[in-house]
Homo-oligomer: A and B are copies of this chain.
Amino acid sequence: MTLGEAEREAIRQQREMSTPTRRATVEALEAILFEPIEVLDHGFVRVVDYMGDDAAIVQAARVSYGKGTKSVSSDAGLINYLLRHRHTTPFEMCEIKLHVKLPIFVARQWIRHRTANVNEYSARYSILDREFYVPAADQVAPQSTSNRQGRGEPLDDAAAAAVRARMQASGAEAFDLYDALLAEDGPGLARELARGVLPLATYTQWYWKIDLHNLLHFTALRADPHAQYEIQAYGRVLLDIVEKWVPLTHRAFVEYRLEGASLSRTQLQVVRRLLRGEAVDFAASGLSQREWAELQQVLADRV
Contacts and interface: CB of A to CB of B under 8 A. Distances in A.
A196 B191 contact: no
A196 B99 contact: no
Contacts of A74: none
A105 B81 CA distance: 25
Contacts of A135: 193, 196
Contacts of A275: 271, 274-275, 299
Nearest to A109: B124
A196 B193 contact: no
Contacts of A299: 271-272, 275
Contacts of A13: 66-67
A114 to B, nearest CB: 4
Interface in A101-159: 103-105, 107-108, 111-112, 114-115, 117-125, 132-133, 135, 139-144, 148-152, 155, 159
Q: How many copies, total?
A: 4
A25 B14 contact: no
Interface string A10-24: 110111011111111
A198 B262 CA distance: 38
A104 B198 CA distance: 11
A20 B22 contact: no
Contacts of A125: 148-149
| A-B pairs, 3 with minimum CB distance | A10-B66, A151-B190, A196-B201
A189 interface: yes
A252 to B, nearest CB: 9
A60 B135 CA distance: 29
Contacts of A196: 103, 105, 132-133, 135, 167, 199-201
